[in-house]
Each structure stands twice: as structure tokens, then as C-alpha cells.
Amino acid sequence: MYTATSHPARAAALAAAVAAGASFQQLATARPDGFDPAAGTLTLHDQARYTDGCAIYPVPAWARGFLHAAARFAHLTDAACLLATPADRPALLRLAESIKVRPSQPPPAWRKERRGPVVWDWGEQREALG
């Protein structure tokens, strides 16, 4: 991943998505103080409970460097969010595609209606409907 992007927040967002299984909606709620390097945790918020609600996720050692860099970047730039804004979604999807990181895909029966490339929001849709 470090060879695919030089933007610390995008690399951290992708690392958090992989490590925590977080949806884009959750990534967009991470605040600059949401990463605790001492505890190795990331707090994501979802007051609307669109996916999992608010939760604290463990961050594996391999992902901590990415999140630490994003936290420092957010601090230096006075960013309101740690990982992503809604406008970052297209860039994050391109980054994920470029390094072949994809969420689990829907079963073939569901995909019959939507032939095409990777389905990025299937997990969120399933959780919202369930």
C-alpha cells in the first residue's frame, strides 16, 4: 500500500477498512483524536447506526504506522476528520482497486441484477436492510 499512495489519510483509511472491516460511512466519522497509539485502537462513530454503531476497534501492528501518520497529518493541517471526507470516496475506491483490496462480494443470485465491476457497498446495504 505504501507504494500506491503518498497521502497518509488515504493509506490509513484503507488500512482501517481492512483491519476493522469498517464501511466508508464509518471511516468518514473518525476524528483526529480517535486513534490511540498507546492502546492500539481506533474509535469509529455511527450515531445513525447505519452499519455497526459506534465502536472501538483494535488496530493490528501493521496498520498502526498508517494511522499514526494520518493522525499527525490531521494535527498539522487542523483537519476535522482523521481518515476521509465524503469527497474522498472516489479516490479511496481507486486506491483500493489499484492494490486489489476489495470487500467480500455478494452471492451470485444477488449479483444477477447488477452485473459489472466490484460491488463496494454491498456490506453496508445488507446491514442497513437487516
Give the span between the Cα atoms of 73 and 95, in whole angstroms: 19
Place of cell 494511522: 67
Helix, strand, coil fractions of the chain, as percent rounded to 5? 50, 10, 45
CB 4 within 8 A of CB 66: no
Give the span between the Cα atoms of 59 and 13, in whole angstroms: 12
Q: pTM here? A: 0.73
CB 22 within 8 A of CB 57: yes
Per-residue pLDDT tens digits for 73-108 = 999 999 888 888 888 888 888 888 787 776 666 677
pLDDT on residue 120: 63
Per-residue pLDDT tens digits for 4-62 = 556 888 888 888 888 887 777 788 888 889 999 999 999 988 666 555 567 889 999 99
Question: Which three-class secondary structure state does DSSP give residue 39?
Answer: coil
